[in-house]
Structure 1
Amino acid sequence: MRRLLSAVFAVLVMAGCSEADAQEAERFGGTGPITLVTGRDTTAYLQPLLDRWNRAHPEEPVTLLELPEAADEQRAQMVANLQAKSERYDVLGLDVVWTAEFADAGWILPLERELFPLDRFLPPVVDTAVYRGKLWAVPYTSNAGLLYYRKDLLAKEGFTPPKTWEELRTQARALHDEYGIGGYAGQFLAYEGLTVNFTEAVQSAGGQILSQDGARVTMDVAKAEAGLDFLVGGFREGWIPRESLSFKEEESRLAFQEGRLAFARNWPHAYGPATTSEVAGRFAVTRLPGLDGPGTGSLGGINLAVSAYSTRQKSATEFIRYFTGLENQRRVLTEGSFPPVWAELYDDPALIKRFPYLPVLKESILSARPRPAGADYNQVSLVIASAVSNALTPPFEEDVGDTVAAMREQLDEIVRAR
């Protein structure tokens, strides 16, 4: 890797490139201590993985800088740093939906595809790191929503894991009434997590919100209404507890593993902690339910990118290459319970024995849809989260159809303003 980057720099100089190009190449060749900035590590798995790199690279140690848990707050802090052209961040742990925005703003560098074994990654995951034909980041973890459920309670009542919303509603209401616990919860605070939950509901009704390039509003009103009505109905009827209006990922994870929920929508990282919790041995996971059958989740995850303002971009690129390698990806799963991006790990018999949800997770990832790419995604997310939050909050005075119509109008304005 070092020889390759040095050779690139030498070729540029020998070819008579401009002084500015030569300076940029030299900057890319910078080495030394680097900083990885990413969201809060709620499972405390990350530092031991970084320690492995640091022991092997004493002259290029990486320091972990943790940002808040919520994606919106992470983005806000990263954007403030990058707009100031600060050299503080070297490697950025980006939510997969930020690729287009950060690339379009010139905050991250394009990367050479040949440096990374992308052909061995899950295909939908690679797509989240590509914008306008260029690779701007490297997938580090993937994600797709799963339905966590109390298999012991389902067995007592003669239920099978729900595949449709109506089955989930029926079972959640019955378990709520019989055992005095919340029926179902997801991430319903007004932030990116609520956008994801609503998007999954729309997709699971057979619809979508924007075209994949984010250039057109493609929302089918009837399907969007069906998705929103499913969520509003849960709150109105009481099988979705009102306290979940304040839930992010951690709150919903804790509520389920403390035995306060029969069903919960969450990401795969919640599986590991639950195996040592009050519900250990009494829960399982399945695909999200939908209107007429299994639903369609939103593709999540973290991609690693190099800051355009880093002075140690060579070390940053080498670190990304190492950190997304096969053996480290195995540790991401075994030590952090996060979904890896290497396809072959999902078919490893030893890993499946230890993590029996891997086949379901692989199916969920491959069937999930990425959120729309676009430099204005943050505005789109804010509009959706705000509208849906108002609809879910008692006394439920606003008509679902009116909410969807107003949301579509606002999204049209954002898209037309490009």
Structure 2
Amino acid sequence: MASRLPRRRFIQGSAVVAALSAAAACSGGGSNSSGTSASAASTADFTGTGPITWVQGKDNSDGKVQERIDEWNELYPDEKVTLIELSAEADQQRQSLINNAQTQSDAYDVISIDNVWVAEFAANQWVVPLPTDELKNDDIIESVWETGLYMGTLYGIPFATDSSIMFYRKDFLQEAGVEVPTTWDEVKSAIDAVRALPGHEDIGGFGGQFAKYEGLTCCASEFINTAGGSFYDDEGNVTINSPEAIAGLQTLIDGFKDGYIPTDSLEWKEEDGRNAFEAGNLLFYRQWPYQYANNMAALGEEKFGVAALPSIDGNDFVPTLGGHNCGISVYSKNKATALKFVQWWTSQESEKYALETQTLAPVIGSLYEDSEMLEQFPYLPTLRESLDSAKGRPKAVSYGDVTAAIQDAIYPAIQQQTTAEDAIATLESSLNALS
């Protein structure tokens, strides 16, 4: 129960600690619950069968999610699943899920939870503990599996993982006679070379998701982590104000200042940059693997490629570990059906389907070595290496406050309105105030 939990907000690795009295809030709205009603018991009662809902962000796969759900509905006509799509934006998805939980609504049964939200949703008892013995699969990548744990208990079962990779316009690099870059300096040189070509003088260079939302937290974290900086240590102490973190942020600021990162990307979320990339207005794009399927449809394999993100000043790039987990709402009336659906939705068959139809990064390790999958998706070894080197965002019960503080400090810096030193100092103060 809430009164038994240590009063610390940050969780590192398997040594997880949290404060229920500090419930999360984000810029789109907050939550002030220190625990829900008595119905949010510590042990779930997986009874009740019948119709349920699957709740996720906007489906960008041209109906492939619904097609998979249709297969379930054919198998289990008395336990039909209805797809509920939320916003395409992570911040708004989170707020919709919180609003549903705070009103104790049974409208949402199985929900898609960003892996960094697991601690918040578990601590507030918005999702139920899950039976590990019925869901554990030794083929699930261990670091991905651990994203579903809170206080040593499983609250979210991963169904899609994520790590950022670099999409590049193969046709433009070939036209300029440039090899695929592996370092940040080579990225800048490649941009210069392509811009020297007639018709490409104004092409955007290296894009990312730099609008003031969760994408900015992911992208800025990568530059800071790559330089050797960190936000917290293993005990949850704030460590952001370091020469390494300042250097990482300065590299990002300079990218905008020198014109290698387009100023348009200050307003970009995932799909904005993808559209620019496919329209020929961007040379390199830091993005999640799902874009591969879209690029294949819009460009064809002769016009784009996928590579690891570049090293910076001799440091291997540290991508952000993304991904989503299935959680079951404490207010679901049909938890038996919900659990059965989660088992089916995270099966190897479903993982393979999601890879083939949506190019979602699978949580099943063997699929990265499957010869059939490698033939269809030759970038899988690059993606697996990215996953293995990726670093998660801070695991915090008050994650909404943490990510808002990061965005508030970093966004003015990349707009050239403040210095890296001042931005990091501001962030240090904000994070300490949350501890």
TM-score (norm: length of structure 2): 0.86
Identity over the aligned pairs, expressed in percent?
A: 36
1:254 match: secondary structure: helix
Instruction: From the superposition, tell whether residues 118 and 101 of structure 1 become closer, same or farther in structure 2 (CA, over 3 Å).
Output: same
Mean alpha-carbon deviation: is it higher for 359-368 or for 285-294?
285-294
Mean alpha-carbon deviation: is it higher for 108-117 or for 68-77?
108-117
Equivalent residue, structure 1, for 2:154: 135
Equivalent residue, structure 1, for 2:11: none
Mean alpha-carbon deviation: is it higher for 103-112 or for 176-185?
176-185
Distance 2:122 2:83 in 1: 23
Equivalent residue, structure 2, for 1:176: 195
What is the alpha-carbon root mean square deviation over aligned residues?
Answer: 1.8
Which of 214, 236, 239 is the equivalent residue of 1:218? 239
Which of 33, 38, 49 is the equivalent residue of 2:51? 33
Which deviations, in whole Å up to 9, do the C-alpha atoms of 1:77-120 show, x marking residues without a partner? 11011011111110010001000000000000111111124311
Equivalent residue, structure 1, for 2:364: 342
Which structure 2 residues correspond to residues 352-363 of structure 1 after superposition, within 5 A?
352-363=374-385
Which structure 2 residues correspond to residues 221-370 of structure 1 after superposition, within 5 A?
221-278=242-299, 280-291=301-312, 292-370=314-392
Which sections of structure 1, spanning at least 5 residues, go unmatched?
1-19
Q: How far does residue 384 in structure 1 lie from its aligned partner after superposition? A: 0.8
The answer on whether the counterparts of 2:44 and 2:130 sit within 8 Å (CA) in structure 1 is no
The answer on whether the counterparts of 1:163 and 1:293 sit within 8 Å (CA) in structure 2 is no
Distance 2:177 2:42 in 1: 65
Distance 2:426 2:59 in 1: 37
Distance 2:417 2:90 in 1: 30
Which of 355, 365, 383 is the equivalent residue of 2:405? 383
Q: Is the aligned partner of 1:64 residue 2:83?
A: yes
Equivalent residue, structure 1, for 2:427: 407
Q: Is the aligned partner of 1:96 residue 2:115?
A: yes
Equivalent residue, structure 2, for 1:77: 96
Distance 1:173 1:412 in 2: 41
Which deviations, in whole Å up to 9, do the C-alpha atoms of 1:395-418 show, x marking residues without a partner? x24111111111111111111xxx
Mean alpha-carbon deviation: is it higher for 77-86 or for 199-208?
199-208
The answer on whether the counterparts of 1:164 and 1:293 sit within 8 Å (CA) in structure 2 is no
Which deviations, in whole Å up to 9, do the C-alpha atoms of 1:348-367 show, x marking residues without a partner? 11111111110100111111
TM-score (norm: length of structure 1): 0.90
Mean alpha-carbon deviation: is it higher for 326-335 or for 286-295?
286-295
Instruction: From the superposition, tell whether residues 26 and 114 of structure 1 become closer, same or farther in structure 2 (CA, over 3 Å).
Output: closer
Equivalent residue, structure 1, for 2:225: 203
Q: How many residues align?
A: 392
Instruction: From the superposition, tell whether residues 140 and 212 of structure 1 become closer, same or farther in structure 2 (CA, over 3 Å).
Output: farther
The answer on whether the counterparts of 1:126 and 1:139 sit within 8 Å (CA) in structure 2 is yes
The answer on whether the counterparts of 1:143 and 1:268 sit within 8 Å (CA) in structure 2 is yes
Structure with higher helix content: 1
Structure 1 segments (4+ residues) deviating >6 Å? 23-26
Amino acid at match of 1:150: R
Q: How far does residue 153 in structure 1 lie from its aligned partner after superposition? A: 2.6
Distance 1:82 1:134 in 2: 20
Q: How far does residue 328 in structure 1 lie from its aligned partner after superposition? A: 1.0
The answer on whether the counterparts of 1:212 and 1:371 sit within 8 Å (CA) in structure 2 is no
Amino acid at match of 1:403: A
Q: How far does residue 172 in structure 1 lie from its aligned partner after superposition? A: 2.3
Instruction: From the superposition, tell whether residues 381 and 177 of structure 1 become closer, same or farther in structure 2 (CA, over 3 Å).
Output: farther
Which of 123, 134, 144 is the equivalent residue of 1:115? 134
Which deviations, in whole Å up to 9, do the C-alpha atoms of 1:138-176 show, x marking residues without a partner? 100000000111223323434332222222222223323
Q: How far does residue 26 in structure 1 lie from its aligned partner after superposition? A: 9.1
The answer on whether the counterparts of 2:224 and 2:230 sit within 8 Å (CA) in structure 1 is yes
Equivalent residue, structure 2, for 1:86: 105
Amino acid at match of 2:58: R
